Structure formats: structure tokens, C-alpha cells
Structure 1
Amino acid sequence: MLLVAEPILGPEEKTALAEVIDSGWLTMGDRVRAFEQAFAEVHGVEDSVAVNSCTAALHLILHALGLGPGDEVLVPALTFVATANCVVYVGATPIFVDIESADVPLMSLADAEARCTARTKAVILVHFAGYLADREAWRDFARRKGLLVIEDAAHAPGLRQVGTFGEAAAFSFYGNKNMTTAEGGAIIARDSALLETIRQARGHGMTSGTRQRLNARTPTYDVTMLGFNYRMDEMRAAIGLVQLRKLPGWNEVRSRLVADYRQLIAERCPSVTVPFQQPRLSTFHIMPVVLPAGVVRQEVIDHLRENGIQTTIHYPPVHLMTLYRELCPGVQLPRTEDFALRELTLPLHPRMEAETVELVVDTLARAVQAETVVKAVA
């Protein structure tokens, strides 16, 4: 089965893990700190905070910024549910915003403005599929409305422009991401005081960690704020240090594969559209396409699967999920809903080659053609 996403792990990661085991120190320590510094350098900032997931990263950012009950936070519905969940974690209310269009499935600035109220305090921008939102437009909007800007950069590690939109950015190293630590995440913020608050909050609000107390030869510590158990461990950091060195090359491979996809889809199944026709900065995390209206997506999925090709969907709209229909009733986002009904995510990862892309596109073309013929006969 050709998978939608596939991590690349090899001898270097195994060696890094063995070194951690041999060291006898497994919890947050020197390797976590080294990974934080290396990740910060890649993104052109002074420092970062490593955590155990992107969900933890988003929660910590919202918590450290003081968002809470009575506050509203603008979020896209075309995202993984964690983006909205983290707003609920701090007691605030997610306000779902439509996408701009099927070609630009990023949060609509016009719809965001229409949904702003006196209670709106922040906006979470999701760099869907690795494509960056329009920084200057959103920064101007935030200044006019007095909003905090948070980046959900789960799809976009490795670009220096990420983390420059506003207060902080959250990253994911889950197993299907551009780089992985199996589970894991990180935060960058240009305000050092905000970053230090986040750093302390990730470890129960304690004033020192276990490794720090060992080096300082004193067992005492204090708790000066509410905190959480969101730490990264040494094994994940060790994998992350290896993966981070490979990230630029992997992102470049993704870029070439997406270019191949765009060309072949235009030639061989032009009724299928590929979002983001206009070039913009991207890490090319996933390969979303939009099927023609009337084509039964499940039939296309089944056809590809029968030919050994996995596909998936990014994303079922969050506002239509049972929890959020109950928490936020009556939300209608027509562009998001139409996109989500016709979107299909094709395989994209650095293990693939140009020939693999050609195989996927040819199989997709046959599937769509078969569906079109069936529809015409019916």
C-alpha cells in the first residue's frame, strides 16, 4: 500500500535512541535543550520550547496569553479538531470562520472580520497543507481589531517566515508530519517573557526541572503558576535532532513532487483541481485535490485503494462534529462545507519518486473517468 504519509527513520535515529538509553537519563534534559536551540536556529529566533504535542503547544500559548472565559477566538473549521479544542481548554469560545475559496482553503479575512465582536480577543491562523497565510493582511487586521495572532504551524516546520505573524507559533512532530519525533511539538515566540512563561507552565509551573536540580545540587523548587505535564523527553528530542538536520532536504523533495502532481493532474485529469494555483510559501505537507462536483468521492477512494493507493480527507469540518454542533449551534460555512465534501488527499512524502506520482495520477484519472461515465449513463 502506498501510504498518504510515511515517516523516514533509519540508522541515525536508532543510534540516537541507543545513546539516550545508554546515558541513563530519559526525562527532559540536555538533548531536549539542544533540540530547542537547534529548532530555534532553523526558524531564525533566539529560543524555542519543546513539548509533547502541538495540542499542548497551542494550549500553552493560549494559557500564557491569558485567554479565558468570555473571550472569543477566531478559528477555521477546516483544521484538525485540536485547534478548536485548545480554545475550549482555556474556557474561551471558538468562533468558526469560513475559508477564502476552494483554491485558497485558508481562513477568509472577510469572513473573520464579519464574525468579530467586542469579545473577540485572538485569531488562530492555520497554515493548511503547509501553505502560509497572507502575513501582512492578517497583521493589519489584527492591529485594527486589537487581536492577538497565534499560528497553528503543525503543517509548516522549516520556514523562517513562520512565527512572524504575531505572538507565537505551534508546531507538530506527529508521525505523519514533515519531520517527526513520534509524538511531540514546539513553540516559538519572539517575546522572551512569553516564551519563559510557556517554558515554566509546560512542567507543572515548577521553578526548576529535575535536570536543573541535579546540576544545581539542590532538591528544592517552588510552583509559582498553574502548569501542566507537557514536557518532551530525551528520546523524542534525540530523534528530533536527527530529523531536523534532514528537514530542508525533505521539504525540497516535497516541493518537486507537488510540482509533478500539478503538471500531471492538469494534463491527465483536468476536471480535478489542485488548490493554491498562485505560488505562495509552503512546506508542502499534504497533497489536497478537489474532485469534480457530482463525483462520488468514496468510489474514487475505493478505486485507488483497490490499486494499492491510500487516500484520506483533510478535514471533516470541525463545526459539523457532534461536540461542536452542540457547543456552537447554527454555524454555517458554505465554502468550507463544499470543499470538505470534495477534497481528497493524495500520497505525498519524501520516499516517493516522480514515477510514483505518475502512477497515482493515472489511477486517479481512471477513477474519475469511471465515475463520470457512470454519472452520464445514470
Structure 2
Amino acid sequence: MAGWSVPLADVTVDEADIAAVADVYRSGWLSMGPRTEELEGAFATYTGARHALAVANGTAALHLICLAAGLAVSDEVVVPSLTFVATVNAIAYTGATPVFADVAGLTEPWLSAAAAEAAITPRTKAVMTMAYGGHAGETAALRELCERRGLLLLEDAAHAAGSRLGGRHLGTFGRAGAFSLFSNKNLAVGEGGLLVTDDDDLAARARLLRSHGMTTLTWDRHRGHASGYDVVALGFNYRIDEPRAALATRRLARLDAENAARRELDARYRRAFGELGVTCALAPAGGLESSHHLFAIVLDEGADRDTFRAALAERGVQTSVHYPPVHGFSIYAGARAELPVTDAYAARAVTLPLFAHMTREQQDRVIDAVAAQGRGAPTAARR
């Protein structure tokens, strides 16, 4: 359906953003250079990480943290199936084996620490968690588990730009974290990614692999810091370009304000749906400052979700499903995972529109559309 009255996500690019990008084009330096360095410094400061590296997209960031952490063919990595497929693919790219573990509950769609521990074998090298919707979930418990069992904790923080637990930014609880700058994310530039780490060796390895395994970059040579280069590893072209780096830096400066607007919208949804008896996922938690990347409700068992979504679409309200479980895809069918909570959530969850500049009128349209469905059967789940 074209021309949604209330889209699932929306991005505004103001004239100052456009001017900043235009200035990059006028500068004549378009590949990775000073704007990328500025973004990396700003994001490291923002997250409190020692190192931040900007890359071409979130998948590249995930791949690099897996490679730089040393994942290899003989290893297993415990990972949720309820995630975008890139989380799992990044593990498989290294030759390591993804081992799926269940989520915590029907309204807690994040990796369960107990399920993760049950999935550990002698081959397990790491746990990859995912900050679903920007929620910390059981990140602290997973960190404790990995420390106790001598495992690496890696974080897919694609949803979590601006999410903090106890004042600590998600993505910095483990050995490394990966963020996405995709067009539907809170910190959106179209395509782009960032990885963060406090590990000097991991950062150096990721920096090397980001650009073909070359010992110096074009920007280094342009500034006269080097006159040649060696290639010492089988790397990739995962570089970001300067226009996107400039846009990301500008958007980062207003990320907290935009996340605060999302927080108010999230709270307003919860008040309205609480009165309607609609079950909401991702409840606020003590010490958590969430990015509120997603807002999801959970329908009654047996409800016809397709009919529910179609009814909202008729009213101009876009919805989505986050996510079809990865273990259900043909490429991972061999895993034969049994994940009853993941399967139940994935069958009943509906993601509703949420974006920073969403108006009250738009939100009311969503609430009214859900309420209209709640008067008939099948209905949104009742408490």
C-alpha cells in the first residue's frame, strides 16, 4: 500500500543535514577521511568505548567483530534465532557454527541467559546477544555467564544507539558491539555501521580487515603519513564514505533528543493499550534508558495476524513482524532448533509504527485501529 497515513518508520533530513553532505562533495575528498575520523571520535565518546570504527553497513560491523574476535571453523556461537538474519550470517561467514537458543518470554523477546547456558558445549567460544528493540534484556546476566564460563560476549546493538543500562551503553558490555545506520534505525544515514570495543588488539585487527588488509589508507598517504602499503591479511572493502559519515555525525548530535521523543510515544502507547487490555512487549526496566527502536504488541494465541495487519493497513497504518525466526529459513534448516518461545512470539507479535517525529494524530490513528480490532474476534491479547 503506497502513501501510508502512518508509516512504520520515517526519517527526516533537514536542510542543515543536506548542507553538511553538500560540503563534503564540495571538498573533493569523498572516501574515508576526516569526516569518518570525526564520526568515530564522536561515537566513541558517546558510547564510552575506547575505539569506534565506521564501516559500510551494520552487517560489515557484525562480520568484523566476529572475525576480529577470532571466531573460526571449529567454534560454536550461541545466538538468538529471533533477530535479523545478518546477526547469524556474520557468525557463519567466519566458518563458526551458530547454535540457536530461545528468548526469555512472550513479552521479553531477547536471548535468555538460562537458555544460552543450556546451549553451551565444549566447542562454544562466544555468545552473540541482540538488543531487541533497544532493550537491554538479559545483557548483564549474559555478561556474567560469559565471564564465568570463559566465553566471549559479542553484541548486536543494531537497535541500541542511545540505549544504556545503569549508565553503560549497550554494545560495550562484551568484547565488541556492532551498530547499524540503516535507514529505519534511530541513527539513520541509509547504509552504514559502527563497531565499538575497548580491546586494542581487536580494534587494530578490525581496522586492518576493514580495508583489504592494507597497512595504510589512502587518507594516510594523502596527508603524507605514509608513502606505500603492504597487504598483511585477507581483508574486505568495508569502508564507509565521507558524505554518510558527515550525516551520521550530525544526526548523532540529536539522537538523545529523538530517543526521548520515542520514549514519550512508547509511554503513551502503553497507557492507551493498558486501558484496552492489549499486551505490549519490551516493558521498561529499572536502570534501562532504551532507544525505543521498536514498539510491539502480542496477539492472542490463535489470532489471525494477517487479518489483523490487513485491517490496520486498510486504515493506512503500516505494521511489520520482527522477525521471522532465522532457524526457520531454508539455509539454517539443518540446525533443527526447538525454540518454543521464539516460535510463539514470532507467530503472534506485530510491530506498530514508532518514529521520533510521529504526531499525536498519527499515534491516535494507530491506537484507534488496534482498538477497532479489539472489539471483534480474533482480538489483541488481553491481560
Counterpart of 2:66?
A: 62
Q: Is the 8 A contact 2:129 2:156 kept in 1?
A: yes
Q: CA deviation at 1:278?
A: 4.8
Residue number in structure 2 paired with 1:314 = 322
Q: Does 1:267 align with 2:275?
A: yes
Q: What are the equivalent positions in structure 2 for 1:1-378 lying under 5 Å apart?
A: 1=4, 2-159=6-163, 160-216=168-224, 218-268=226-276, 270=277, 272-280=278-286, 281=288, 282-325=290-333, 327-328=334-335, 330-372=336-378
Is the 8 Å Cα contact of residues 129 and 139 (structure 2) preserved in structure 1? no
Q: Which runs of 4+ in 1 moved over 3 A?
A: none
State the Cα deviation string for residues 283-331 of structure 1 (Å, max 9, x = none).
Answer: 1001111011222111111111111110000000000011111x42x21
Asked whether the 8 Å contact 1:169–1:187 carries over to 2, the reply is: yes
Question: What is the alpha-carbon distance in structure 2 between the residues aligned to residue 127 and residue 153 of structure 1?
Answer: 6
Contact 1:13 1:242 in 2 (8 A): yes
Letter of the 1:248 counterpart: D
SS at match of 2:259: helix
Contact persistence 1:299–1:371 (CA under 8 A):
no
Paired residue type of 2:327: H
Q: Residues 88-125 of structure 1: CA distance to partner in whole angstroms, max 9, x if unpaired?
A: 10000000010010121111111111111000000011
Contact 1:127/1:155, CA 8 A, preserved across alignment: yes
Number of aligned residue pairs: give it. 369
1:47 Cα offset (Å)? 2.8
TM-score (norm 1): 0.95
Greater shift in the superposed pair: 136-145 or 206-215: 136-145
In structure 1, the residue corresponding to 2:170 is in which secondary structure?
coil
- Deviation larger for 63-72 or 210-219: 210-219
Gaps of 5+ in 1: 374-378
Using the alignment, how far apart are the partners of 1:47 and 1:108 within structure 2? 28
SS at match of 2:148: helix
Q: Deviations over 1:215-268 (max 9, x none)?
A: 117541011222111001001101101111110100000000000000001112
**8 A contact 1:158–1:248 mirrored in 2:** yes
Q: Distance in 1 between matches of 2:102 and 2:196?
A: 27
Judging by fraction of residues, say which structure has more strand. Answer: 2
* Conserved 8 A contact 1:296-1:371: no
Aligned mates of 1:161, 1:33 — CA distance in 2:
21
Report if the CA contact (8 A) 1:58-1:83 is conserved: yes
Aligned AA (1:119): R
**Distance in 2 (alpha carbons) for counterparts of 1:279 and 1:25:** 45
1:369 positional shift = 2.4
Shift, 1:70, TM fit: 1.3
Q: Find the residue that maps to 1:67 and give its secondary structure.
A: coil
Contact in 1 for aligned 2:216/2:226 (Cα 8 Å): no
Give the Cα–Cα distance (whole angstroms) in 1 for the partners of residues 169 and 223 of structure 2. 36
Unpaired segments ≥5 residues, structure 2: none
